[in-house]
Amino acid sequence: MFKKDISAGSKSKVKSSAQRGIRSKVVDQYPLLEPYMDEIMPKKEQLDLVKLPDRVALYTLSSTPLFFQHMDDPLLPHLSLIHRYPSCFPRLRIDRGAIRFVLSGATLMAPGLTSAGGRLPNDPQDGDGEFGMEELEPGTVVVIEAEGKENACMVGVLKMGTAEMKKVKKGQACEAGHYLGDGLWGLDLR
């Protein structure tokens, strides 16, 4: 979505009622974030809405980006938010070989997740269940981590259910929404 460098459009304040709406939507979508909601979006603080090209809206708190949204699609968290609260999102892991493709903005392919270095939920290689037990449906927002790395490198929407991925091991797995080093990452919000 943000392969090219982008420049921010107009910035406007979010009405407090809309702000409540966003808040409840976030909690709905990412229930694990709830205990930290007051830190992420303090009730009294004023959120800003920054318009980005291609009808993408970015919600920010002063100059920290929080969530972005394409039209009425689900809210996607900004990577800097994910880095602060990594385990509050459904996560998958890719193997080392796939990192460089992801960081250049490619659509994530299933083999990157099914190979030895990758992790899917309910994975036999995943001893302590760190990546969850439940299979994810297509359309779920997932955070992509990388083998041997601490921080996440991408966030996107699943194109294929994880159960199917394990069976087929082929094809597009997850659409790149926002990855490290893309236009949104480099966006200057002042």
Partner 1 sequence: MAEYPKQVTYCGVCTLPPEYCEFGGTVKKCEEWLKDNHPDMHAKLYSQEAIEQNLSTLSLEAQKRAEKDSQKKAAKAATAEAKAQEQRATSKVIIKRIERNKRKYVTAVQGLEAFGLDIKKVAKDFGKKFATGSSVTKVPGGGEEITVQGDLSDDILEYVVDQYKDIPEDNVECIEDKKKKAAG
- Subset of residues 104 to 143 that bind partner 1, contact rule: CB under 8 A: 117
Cα dihedral 187, 141, 21, 53, rounded to 10, equals: 30
CB of 1 to partner 1, least distance (A): 18
Could you say which of 57, 85, 90, 135 contacts partner 1 (CB under 8 A)? 85
153 interacts with partner 1 by CB under 8 A: yes
- Contact call for residue 87 and partner 1 (CB under 8 A): yes
Stretch that binds partner 1, among 20-28, 50-58, 85-93, 169-177 (CB under 8 A): 85-93
Q: Secondary structure of 89-106 in the HEC alphabet?
A: CCEEEECHHHHHHHCCCC
**Does 180 contact partner 1 by CB under 8 A?**
yes
Single out the residue of 24, 46, 63, 80 in contact with partner 1 (rule: CB under 8 A).
80
CA distances from residue 89 to 59, 71, 123, 156, 183 in whole angstroms, order as listed: 18, 22, 17, 11, 22
DSSP 84: H
Q: Is there a contact between 45 and 63 (Cβ–Cβ < 8 Å)?
A: no
Positions touching partner 1 (CB under 8 A) are: 7, 36, 39, 80, 83-88, 95-97, 99-100, 103, 117, 147-151, 153, 180-181, 185-186
